[in-house]
A and B are shown apart, each in its own frame.
Chain A
Amino acid sequence: MKKYLPAVMFILLAVLLIVIGIILQQPESVFNKAVRICMECVGLG
């Protein structure tokens, strides 16, 4: 089980970062970008 400890630590860190991101309302900026056509991505911008 010891060999999976780094993975567990990273998973906990990831959850913590996601929670901080949610508190800082970062999902909204992801959403706002993702619901509009990204002109650069599709080769128009």
Chain B
Amino acid sequence: MDRKKIRFGIQAAATLIQNANIKGFLTGSIFEGATKSVCVPGLNCYSCPGAIGACPIGALQSHLSSMKFKFPYYIVGFLIFFGAVLGRAVCGFLCPFGFFQDLLYKIPFYKKNRFRIDKYLRYLKYLILLLLVIILPLTFDLIPFFCKYVCPSGTVAGIWLAAADSNIRSALGPLFNWKLIVLLIFIVLGLIIKRPFCKYICPLGAIYGFFNRISVYRMTLDKNKCINCGACAKACMMNVDPAKNPNSMECIRCGECVDACPHKALQMGFMPGLKKTEKTNDPAVGGK
């Protein structure tokens, strides 16, 4: 089975597992089992009727915006754990909202992935992480700014809950309309650009990106095999050049570059090239 099919299968399974409370979708109620105290790796709103775990970004904001500040050891522990083991492979394999965007991009439509302001827009997610996820929730009590004003994953949950519950439907107002507009913008952008939310907005991807260079799951480049043909960079939908930086903070480990390489110079997986350290050009291990 090829890599694309395997990844698609893992994404679908991860989405189903993280949203295994099928009964909730039918009744419009949310899951109240013990697993709700465990953070899931991807962006998956805990108010989604199917969610069986807690969204780490939602939990982090909720913790930071509580009246009495206590360092969120538990949530930060989960974020570091997922980051150190998988890095942004979480985005490529386990995130339900990433999977949703991959499905959107499959719809035939006008496509454009390379444009001038792309590299500047990438910094937006770090600003959002700092401002909406950390600083503002720390400053103002009980307001999870990112969830409230930006996160489209919560809007999807809201649509589902509103469809199933007339009380929620009657409570919809300007905030919901704003969030619906944000969701629609990302749906339209998702038809044109590969994973616009992951590239420019997602604070969870921003956190995991910091771990890409050191995570157990990573990519290595065999310099002896690489002929700098540029096939990997051309195949990359995240606009990364794996020949220059195989562990870029933007890489979501989709593996398109690995398949595109005519000389099999790129390897990706858990501890890839463990016995070939001297051949890699990964700067993290002392290469050039």
Contacts and interface: CB of A to CB of B under 8 A. Distances in A.
Nearest to B85: A11
A17 B54 contact: no
Grouping DSSP codes into helix (H, G, I), strand (E, B) and loop, the B interface class, with mixed when no group exceeds half, is: helix
B165 to A, nearest CB: 9
B73 A3 contact: no
Given A10-B84, A11-B81, A4 B216 contact: yes
Contacts of B168: 37, 42, 44
Interface string A12-45: 0111111111101011111101111110111111
A25 B183 CA distance: 35
Interface residues of B, number: 63
Interface residues of A, number: 37
Q: Which DSSP category, helix, strand, loop or mixed, fits chain A's interface?
A: helix
Interface string B208-220: 0001001110000
Interface of B: 30-32, 34, 36-39, 45-47, 51, 53-54, 58-59, 62-63, 66, 70, 72-81, 83-85, 143-144, 147-148, 151, 154-155, 157-158, 161-162, 168, 171-173, 175-176, 178-180, 211, 214-216, 271, 274, 277, 282, 284-285
